[in-house]
């Protein structure tokens, strides 16, 4: 039995668009609450799957093939420029991570949608799971040498008791810096868009004189929309670059 609950209040609070809203209860596998975050997450994954499947099932060239090849080249260049990995190890993981963040950022620009990357739970999950995976790679590749990351070579042993905790805390802080950077950039940009759109809409509805004044905020909104498209790409790009650098750190011990 589905209990539909709609809690839409987009017209008043700029932060309402980031609220996780329960939609209904599902009893397919086990009793669980389906939210707008869950729904958009599934839709984003299906979108990535269908686009890639459509590309592989078609022999003729189209815009999707050109776009995916471009993104493929971007991730390949990230690995080549920022790591010493041979045979492009972990390429598939980084490509999927890039596509997931990029698609989530773009879908979040659709009106009445939900931006997954504006939720700290999602960005922290992405950062933490990849951070755990990177440490598993480091321990597998380096064994006990992995712990040399916390004590750089040439450091006097006298300051080791002080330096090791500092290095360890800064190393753990990578999880929070990754997640907060992506979360804060997406949330602030969307909040600014909502504030400007609400302000312009209020001016348009208040009179003829205000309608002319409202054109200026609408021009700013249009410019910010293009900027948000660029930010959607850049945030995915930066996130994947940092993950690639962290992988290279534990493999080459730099």
- pLDDT higher than threshold 80 for residue 119: yes
Q: Tell me how far apart the alpha carbons of residues 166 and 120 are, in angstroms, rounded to a whole number.
A: 25
Residue-level pLDDT at 242: 93
Q: What residue has token string 């997406």?
A: 186
Residue-wise pLDDT for 53-85, tens only, equals: 777 766 666 677 777 788 888 888 888 888 887
Q: Tell me how far apart the alpha carbons of residues 129 and 76 are, in angstroms, rounded to a whole number.
A: 22
Give domain limits for the chain. Answer: 16-252
Q: Tell me how far apart the alpha carbons of residues 189 and 238 are, in angstroms, rounded to a whole number.
A: 17
Residue-level pLDDT at 205: 65
Residue-wise pLDDT for 131-173, tens only, equals: 999 888 888 877 877 777 777 666 677 776 777 788 788 888 8
Tell me whether residue 240 is exposed, middle or buried, using C-beta atoms within 10 angstroms of its C-beta: 0 to 12, 13 to 18, 19 or more.
buried
Q: Which of 6-15, 147-156, 203-212 has the lowest mean pLDDT?
A: 6-15
Q: If DSSP codes are grouped into helix, strand and coil, which group holds residue 206?
A: coil
């Amino acid at each position: 039995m589905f209990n539909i609950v709609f809690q839409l209040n987009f017209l008043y609070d700029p932060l309402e668009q980031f609220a996780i809203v329960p939609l209904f209860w599902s009893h397919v596998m086990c009793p669980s609450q389906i939210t707008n975050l869950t729904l958009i997450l599934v839709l984003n994954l299906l979108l990535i799957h269908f686009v890639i499947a459509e590309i592989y099932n078609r022999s003729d060239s189209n815009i999707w093939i050109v776009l995916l090849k471009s993104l493929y080249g971007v991730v390949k260049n990230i690995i080549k420029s920022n790591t010493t990995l041979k045979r492009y190890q972990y390429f598939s993981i980084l490509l999927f991570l890039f596509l997931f963040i990029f698609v989530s950022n773009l879908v979040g620009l659709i009106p009445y949608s939900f931006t997954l990357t504006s939720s700290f739970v999602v960005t922290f999950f992405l950062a933490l799971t990849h951070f755990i995976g990177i440490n598993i790679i480091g321990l597998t590749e380096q064994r006990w040498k992995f712990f040399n990351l916390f004590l750089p070579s040439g450091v006097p042993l006298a300051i080791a008791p002080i330096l090791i905790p500092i290095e360890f805390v800064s190393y753990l802080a990578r999880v929070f810096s990754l997640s907060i950077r992506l979360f804060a950039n997406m949330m602030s940009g969307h909040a600014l868009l909502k504030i400007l759109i609400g302000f312009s809409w209020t001016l348009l509805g208040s009179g003829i004189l205000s309608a002319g004044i409202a054109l200026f905020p609408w021009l700013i909104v249009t410019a910010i929309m293009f900027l948000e498209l660029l930010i959607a790409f850049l945030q995915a790009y930066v996130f994947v670059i940092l993950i690639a650098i962290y992988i290279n750190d534990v493999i080459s011990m730099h």
